[in-house]
Structure 1
């Protein structure tokens, strides 16, 4: 399968089976995903593998973050969760937003590689990803933020559903000759009438 085919066929699998790749199966995929464009090769990311009781601890942390008494069952929806962590480095050439883009690129590339390897993947986020309770549960340092989790498991027999096709022509535009935004151009046209 080509990279284009892998990207075109990628889907989010919000429901997965209990099967999950082993650590040994993950390592070469993570090594490949780490090849994303990375200004100054900072590697401003890391991944945390959550299995078994780790998921229960995460459920308790999510409940604490949301002010709930009962632990969240969301982390139990897959037997493997991979926490995606932006691990920022101090660098005058590479701003934090760019480092977060690298970490996001690693997560997306890893999700494509897992999908191609036959695993169902769903990237879960939420407001509680940036909460103190959830950060503490993951052992995050002060220079780190959680970007969410890749929920990984076997693909069930049922298809995840269809995605709406991307209208590439509408999303690929040209730079305006005078630097005006699309909204500013509309306003100029109205004033000139």
Structure 2
């Protein structure tokens, strides 16, 4: 098993995946591990929604409806959720709290999504984080069954890694230009 550092350094987005995907039990196990993200006041201000099969088609139809596009452009947008056999929607559940502002609750949900993407990648699955201009549209929210105070952050597109996928390291390190050390 890779260390957390090794898993983070090895992670790569997989824009193309095969039709294989983790089953519900494996996904639940990985979500359980992702739930360990830091969470001020233990609010658990997140949930995930797994979309498989026809649910991806309903999402595509909602995206096309939300866009107002027609014809080929609408069809192209509606086909996007079909790029992977499993979409894992990351949902923020923001509640009023005297010590935990909304942004912090959204950060927890995003942390769960990121940690889940690392765990999926480490487990051998191809993963790609995707968002778009219609993520917060009511039509799209309805497909996910979102309640009051919930909003969609985006989706992890998950599937098998193609045999020819290149997994080499990324370019030059960026931390040196983004890390400020104060004493």
TM-score, shorter chain, exceeding 0.5: yes
Q: Distance in 2 between matches of 1:98 and 1:140?
A: 20
Given the superposition, is the C-alpha separation of residues 21 and 144 from structure 1 closer, same or farther in structure 2, using an over 3 Å criterion? same
Name the counterpart of 1:47: 48
Name the counterpart of 1:130: 136
**Cα offsets for 1:60-106 (capped at 9, x unmatched):** 00001111234410000001000100011221100000000000000
Q: Distance in 2 between matches of 1:47 and 1:29?
A: 11
CA-CA distance at 1:142 after TM superposition: 2.1
CA-CA distance at 1:118 after TM superposition: 0.5
Name the counterpart of 1:27: 28
Which is greater in Rg? Answer: 1
2:22 paired with 1:15: no
2:83 paired with 1:82: no
3-state SS of the aligned residue for 2:18? coil
Residue in structure 2 matching 1:111, options 117, 120, 143: 117
CA-CA distance at 1:48 after TM superposition: 0.3
Contact kept in structure 2, 1:11 and 1:160, CA below 8 Å: no
Given the superposition, is the C-alpha separation of residues 161 and 3 from structure 1 closer, same or farther in structure 2, using an over 3 Å criterion? closer
Mark the runs of 5 or more structure 1 residues left unpaired by the alignment: 178-193
Mark the runs of 5 or more structure 2 residues left unpaired by the alignment: none
TM-score, length basis structure 2: 0.92
Contact kept in structure 2, 1:13 and 1:160, CA below 8 Å: no
Name the counterpart of 1:65: 66
2:170 paired with 1:170: no
How many correspondences in the alignment? 176
Q: Distance in 1 between matches of 2:177 and 2:36?
A: 30
Q: Distance in 2 between matches of 1:6 and 1:145?
A: 29
Q: Distance in 2 between matches of 1:23 and 1:161?
A: 26
Q: Distance in 2 between matches of 1:166 and 1:38?
A: 29
